[in-house]
Amino acid sequence: MLKVGITGGIGSGKTIVCQVFHTLGIPVFYADDAAKYLMEHDETLINNIKVLFGNDIYIDNKLDTKQLSSIVFKNPDKLQQLNALVHPATVQYARDWMAQQQSPYAIKEAAIFFESGTYVDMDIMIGVSAPLELRILRAMSRTHTTRDEILNRISKQMDQDEKMSRCDYVIVNDEVQPIIPQVLNLHHILLEKAVL
């Protein structure tokens, strides 16, 4: 089975692209969703997070994400320590999930493939790109945060051009070029590669 990674910066539209692949019957692993799930269901991870942030970071077995965000966005060291706990657990969870898939190819969606080095687990990398202004507007409406906060997040991510240059294929999600034909074209390419 072919392992396909889909990546892109905040607001690029990775999720919508993955949803199109999903409608074609391709299983999709969402790294962010998996990380959130593991932070509330993986006992080892939960205990390690409590050691780092204190027991009150969980309220009735639910992670207090607002409190966690307020800590890690002000303290880069704490964010790094949190990532050092969550990323390995999520990567292993993704590997286990991939090993169970029966389709010709399966997709893992993640923002930080190249930054984390996990792109090496994939056979093919697909990038999703969009103009900066459109990415900012999408992210603002989705997260209900300010333009400055989104720009701050973008500044911490790998440059979009650099990220796209490392991908095998790029889907342009600029609201001018339709996504579905691009995904269908790639779907056929990936099915052919999966047979080889």
Q: What is the pLDDT, as a whole number, of residue 158?
A: 92
Please answer whether residues 35 and 111 qualify as being in contact, where contact means their C-beta atoms are separated by less than 8 angstroms.
no
For 134-184, the pLDDT digits (tens) are 999 999 998 888 999 899 888 888 999 999 999 999 999 999 999 999 999
Q: What is the mean pLDDT of residues 5-18?
A: 95
For CATH 3.40.50.300, list the domain ranges present in the chain: 1-27+105-196, 33-100
Distance between CA 12 and CA 135 in Å, rounded?
Answer: 6
Whether domain 1-27+105-196 has CATH 3.40.50.300: yes
pTM: 0.91
Q: What is the pLDDT, as a whole number, of residue 156?
A: 81
Where b means 16+ CB within 10 Å and e means fewer, 101-123 reads eeebbbbbbbbbbbebebbeebe
Q: What is the pLDDT, as a whole number, of residue 193?
A: 94
Q: What is the pLDDT, as a whole number, of residue 144?
A: 86
CATH for 33-100 is 3.40.50.300
Q: Percent of the chain beyond pLDDT 90?
A: 85
For 18-54, the pLDDT digits (tens) are 999 999 999 999 999 999 999 999 999 999 999 999 9
Distance between CA 81 and CA 6 in Å, rounded?
Answer: 25
Q: What is the pLDDT, as a whole number, of residue 73?
A: 80
